[in-house]
Amino acid sequence: MEKKATKKLKLHIKKGDTVQVIAGDDKSTKERVRTGKVLEIFPEKNRAIVEGINMITKHTKPSAGKPEGGIKKIEGPVHISNLMVVDPASGKPTRVGRKVNSKGKLQRFSKKTGEFIK
């Protein structure tokens, strides 16, 4: 039996990016812009955990390691299609493309301003 080749997924979002929520329960509006820093990415599930977005309640039972237990609020995963990268230059959400930089390496860039994203 042959092994399937594992393909590395190319996503428009990376860990550490500042993103804006464009759909879902935490959707940004004109009055309330919901942005946050990406803490973790799950490429196999197409989901990301964003700081301060999709807060869920976690009930923890007291144990020997954590005797306090109780109710905690933590970030839940959000589907990547509901997030847009915020352009570092303008501070507005932008689509992301890829092009070769001066060193010959493929790098992400903002489609609004044309500048490279770290």
Domain ranges of the chain: 11-86, 87-118
Q: Confirm or reject CATH 2.30.30.30 for domain 11-86, answering yes or no.
A: yes
Give the pLDDT confidence score for residue 23 in this predicted structure.
94
Angle at 33 between CA 83 and CA 108, to 5 degrees: 40
Among candidate residues 82, 93, 18, 17, the one with its CA nearest the CA of residue 47: 82
Q: Is 82 exposed, middle or buried (0-12, 13-18, 19+ CB in 10 A)?
A: buried
Along the 118 residues of the chain, how does pLDDT read in single tens digits? 676 767 777 889 999 999 999 999 989 888 889 999 999 999 999 999 999 999 999 999 999 998 988 999 999 999 999 999 999 888 999 999 999 999 999 999 999 999 999 8
The predicted model scores a pTM of 0.81
| Percentage of the chain modeled with pLDDT above 70 | 96
Give the pLDDT confidence score for residue 1 in this predicted structure.
66
Give the pLDDT confidence score for residue 118 in this predicted structure.
83
Q: What Å distances lie between residue 41 and 26, 62, 64, CA to CA?
A: 18, 29, 31
Residue 117 in 3-state DSSP? Answer: coil
